[in-house]
Amino acid sequence: MVETSSKESHGVEEGPWTVLRLIRWSADYLAAKGVESGRLDAEHLLAHALETTRLQLYLEYDRPLTPEELDRFRPLLRRRGQREPLQYVTGRTGFRELELITDPRALIPRPETEVLVETVLRWASGRGDLTAVDVGTGTGCIALSLLAEGSFREVWALDLSAAALELARQNAVTASVGERIRFLQSDGLSGLPTDLTVDVVVSNPPYVARDDASRLEPEILGHEPHQALFAGDDGLGVLRPLVAAAPGRLRAGGLLALEVGVGQAETVLDLVAATGAFQGGDIHRDLAGKPRIVTAERRPSGGES
C-alpha cells in the first residue's frame, strides 16, 4: 500500500481500501518496521490524514477511502515506518491542557514532564502573583502550562536554541498567554537580567549520558535534537551548573524543581544539599513509579550552612 499498489501479498484480501482494512494493513506494516504501537499509530496517522478523530474512524470502518485520501496517508505512514516519531509526523502533541506544535526543533513533551508541571502547580496552589524561570523550554510546554493553569503572572522561557525558542513562541500564540511570557536565548540561567529573582526555577534539562546513546530508540536518537538530550559523560553536565546557579535566582522560600534521569535523583539531591542554600529536598516519582523529580525550597537569606 505504501508503494501505491492496490494489491498486496501479505495475506490481506483484495478489494477497496476501507478504513478498517487500511488500519489493519498499516498496523502490520509498522509492526514489521519495529514500531511497538503499530495499530494505535496507524489510527492516529489516518485520523490526521482525514482531519478527523479516532472515534470517528470507528464509526466509519467500512467506508472506502478515496484516492486523494490514500495519497495524503501514504507519506505519513512511510515516515512513521522510517521510525520518525508520531508527534513529528503529525506535528502536534497533547500536553496537559495544551495542544502543542511539535517538530524537530525541540524534544517531544512527555508524561514525565507533565508530572514535573503538576508538582510545581501543587506547590504554587494558594500562593498568588508568582514568577518563574523555565530553563530549556523547548516547545514551551512547562512555561505555558504554568501560565495556563497556575497563579503565575510572569514566566521566563529560556533556551540555548534559537530554533526551539521560535517554536515556543508559536505555541505561546495558540496558548493565549498574552504578555506574561518572556523569551530569552540563554545558556542556563546566565542570560537573565542580573537583578532578577523569581519564585520558581523549573527545568527539564538534558540529562542523558553520552554512553547511553546506543540504548535509545531510533525515534529518539535519529530524530530528536541531541543538544536537548545529552549532557556529558554522566548526564549531569547541565544539572550541576544549574543547581549551583539556582540559589542566586530564587527568592527566600522559592522552589527549585528539576526533572532528572533514571538513577540520578539521589545524586542531584546531593548537589542541592551541597549548595547549603536549600531546606532539605524531596524526590517525586513519575507515573511509572521511577524517581524522576527533585524539588527543594530556598532557605531565607543568610540561612546557608
Q: Do the Cβ atoms of 88 and 223 come closer than 8 Å?
A: yes
User: Tell me, what amino acid is at 162?
Assistant: A
Q: Nearest Cα to 269, choosing from 236, 302, 299?
A: 236
Domain 106-298 matching CATH 3.40.50.150: the answer reads yes
Collect all residues with Cβ–Cβ distance below 8 Å to 300 and sequence separation of at least 6: 252, 253
DSSP lists the bridge partners of residue 132 as: 155, 200
3-state secondary structure of 272: helix
Question: Which helix (H) or strand (E) segment is 203 a member of?
Answer: strand 198-203
Percent of the chain with pLDDT over 70: 94
> Is this prediction's pTM over 0.75?
yes
Give the separation between CA 16 and CA 1, rounded to whole angstroms: 12
Phi and psi torsions of 122, nearest 5°: -65, -40
For residue range 121-141, what is the model confidence (pLDDT) as tens digits? 999 999 989 999 999 999 999
Q: How confident is the model over 202-240, as pLDDT tens digits?
A: 999 999 999 999 999 999 999 999 999 999 999 999 999
* C-alpha span between 181 and 140 (Å, rounded): 10
Residue 129 buriedness (CB in 10 A; 0-12 / 13-18 / 19+): exposed
Distance CA 35, CA 43 (A): 13
In the predicted model, is pLDDT for residue 34 greater than 50? Answer: yes
Give domain limits for the chain.
19-82, 106-298
Which residue bears the cell 505561546?
A: 172
Q: What is the pLDDT of residues 72-126, one digit of tens each?
A: 999 999 999 999 999 999 999 999 999 999 999 999 999 999 999 999 999 999 9
